[in-house]
A and B are shown apart, each in its own frame.
Chain A
Amino acid sequence: MSGSATQGNGSALGRIVSGILGPLVFPVIAILLSFIIGAVIVLATGNNPIAAYVALTEGAVGDPLALGRTLLYTTPLIFTGLAVAVPFRAGLFNIGGEGQVYMGAITAAWLGVLLGSLGPVEIPLVLAGSLLAGFLWGAIPGVLKAYFGAHEVITTIMLNYVGIYLAYYLANNPLRQKGPIPGTESIDYAARIPTIGGALGRANYGFFIAILAAIVVYLLLWRTRRGFELRAVGLSPGAANYAGMRLGVNTVLALAIGGSLAGLGGGVEILGVYGNMDVPWVVNLGFNGIGVALLGRNHPFGVVLGALLFGGLSSGAQEMQFVTNVPLELADVLLAVILLLVTATKLVELIVGKRARALAGARLEEGLGS
Chain B
Amino acid sequence: MEDLLGSAGSILESTVRNATPLIFAALGGLFSERSGVINIGLEGLMLISAFSGVVGAHFTGSAIIGLFAALGAGLIFALIHALMCITFEADQIISGTAINLLAVGGTGFLMVTIFGSGGTSPRVNGFGSVTIPLLSDIPVVGKALFDQSLLVYLMYLLVPVVYFVVFRTTFGLRLRATGEVPEAVDTAGVNVQAMRYYGVALSGLLAAFGGVYLSMGLLTAFTENMTGGRGFIALAALIFGRWNPIGAAGAALLFGFAQAITFRVSEQAIPIEFIQMFPFVLTIIVLAGFGGRAIAPAAIGKPYRKE
Q: Which residues of A contact B (CB under 8 A)?
A: 1, 41, 45, 93, 95, 144, 148-151, 153-155, 157-162, 165-166, 168-169, 172-173, 284, 287-288, 290-291, 294, 327, 329-333, 335-337, 339-347, 363-365, 370
Q: How far is the CA of A144 from the CA of B288 in the complex (A)?
A: 6
Contact of B94 among A151, A158, A294 (CB under 8 A): A294
| Distance of A339 Cα from B93 Cα, bound (Å) | 11
Q: How far is the CA of A94 from the CA of B32 in the complex (A)?
A: 22
Is A340 in contact with B113, judged by CB distance below 8 angstroms?
A: no
Q: Assess A95 versus B296: contact at CB under 8 Å? Given A329-B112, A340-B80.
A: no
- Bound complex: CA A352 to CA B274 (Å): 51
In the complex, what's the smallest C-beta–C-beta distance from A283 to chain B, in angstroms? Answer: 13
Measured CA separation A345–B293 after assembly (Å): 33
Q: What are the residues of chain A within 8 A of B274 when measuring CB–CB? A: 165, 169
Q: Which residues of B contact A (CB under 8 A)?
A: 38, 40, 80, 84, 87-91, 93-95, 97-102, 104-106, 108-109, 112-113, 229, 232, 235-236, 239, 271, 273-274, 276-277, 280-281, 283-284, 287-289, 293, 296, 301-303, 305
B229-A161 in contact (CB<8A): yes
Closest beta carbon of chain B to A94's beta carbon, Å: 11
- From B296, which residue of chain A is reached at the shortest CB distance? A151
| Contact present for B102 and A333 (CB under 8 Å) | yes
Chain B interface SS verdict (over half): helix
Contacts of B104 in A (CB 8 A): 284, 332, 336
Chain A residues within 8 Å of B281, by CB: 158, 162
Chain B residue numbers with a CB within 8 Å of A370 are 301
| Bound Cα distance A238, B304 (Å) | 23
Q: Are A327 and B112 in contact (CB under 8 A)?
A: yes
Q: Can you name the residue of chain A whose Cβ is closest to the Cβ of B307?
A: A1
Whether the pair B113, A327 counts as a contact (CB closer than 8 A) is yes
Count of A-B contacts with CB under 8 A?
Answer: 148
Assess the B88–A157 pair: CB atoms within 8 A. Answer: no
A interface, by DSSP: helix, strand, loop or mixed? helix
Given contacts A165-B277, A327-B109, 15 further A-B contacts (CB under 8 A): A148-B288, A149-B288, A149-B289, A153-B40, A159-B280, A162-B277, A162-B280, A162-B281, A166-B277, A168-B273, A287-B101, A329-B105, A330-B109, A333-B109, A370-B301
Determine the chain A residues whose CB is within 8 A of the CB of B288 once the complex forms: 144, 148-150, 155
Whether the pair A155, B113 counts as a contact (CB closer than 8 A) is no
Residues of A within 8 A of B90 (CB): 340-341, 343-345, 347
Residues of chain A lying within 8 A (CB to CB) of residue B108: 327, 329, 332
Taken together as a complex, chains A and B put the C-alpha atoms of A93 and B88 apart, in Å, by: 20
- In whole angstroms, how far apart are the Cα atoms of A291 and B102 in the complex? 12
Are A157 and B109 in touch, CB under 8 angstroms? Answer: no
Given known contacts A154-B283, A327-B113, A332-B105, A169 and B273 CB-to-CB distance under 8 angstroms: yes
Q: Is the CB of A340 within 8 A of B95?
A: yes
Please name the residue on chain B nearest to A330 by beta carbon: B109
Which residues of A sit under 8 angstroms from B276, Cβ to Cβ?
161, 165
Asked whether, in the complex, the Cβ of A161 is within 8 Å of the Cβ of B280, the reply is yes
Q: Is the CB of A287 within 8 A of B236?
A: no
A-B pairs, 10 with minimum CB distance: A332-B105, A340-B98, A336-B102, A169-B273, A336-B101, A329-B108, A329-B109, A327-B112, A344-B88, A150-B287
Give the chain B neighbours of A284 by CB distance below 8 A. 104
Interchain CB contact under 8 A, B89 and A345: yes
**Cβ–Cβ < 8 Å partners of A148 in chain B:** 287-289
Q: How far apart sit A342 and B95, CA to CA, in the bound complex (Å)? A: 9
Residues of A close to B303: CB separation below 8 A = 365
Which residues of chain A have C-beta atoms less than 8 A from B87's C-beta? 346
| 22 sampled A-B residue pairs with Cβ under 8 A | A95-B97, A144-B284, A148-B287, A149-B293, A151-B287, A154-B287, A158-B281, A161-B232, A169-B271, A288-B101, A329-B109, A333-B109, A335-B101, A335-B105, A339-B94, A340-B90, A344-B88, A345-B89, A347-B90, A363-B89, A364-B94, A365-B302
Cβ–Cβ < 8 Å partners of B88 in chain A: 344-347
Q: How far is it, in angstroms, between the C-alpha of A330 and the C-alpha of B289 when the chains are bound?
A: 43
Is B102's CB under 8 angstroms from A340's CB?
yes
Of A169, A287, A339, A341, most B-chain CB atoms within 10 Å: A339
Once the chains bind, are A144 and B101 in contact (CB under 8 Å)? no
CA distance A90 to B4 in the complex (A): 55
Compute how far the CA of A335 lies from the CA of B106 in the bound complex, rounded to whole angstroms. 11
In the complex, what distance in Å separates the CA atom of A157 from the CA atom of B277? 12
Q: How close is A317's CB to chain B, nearest CB, in angstroms?
A: 10
Closest B residue to A1 by beta carbon equals B305
User: By the criterion CB–CB under 8 Å, are B284 and A161 in contact?
Assistant: no
| Bound Cα distance from A194 to B41, whole angstroms | 39
Distance (whole angstroms) from the CB of B35 to the closest CB of chain A: 18
Q: Which residues of A contact B239 (CB under 8 A)?
A: 154
| Bound-complex Cα distance A115 to B213 (A) | 48
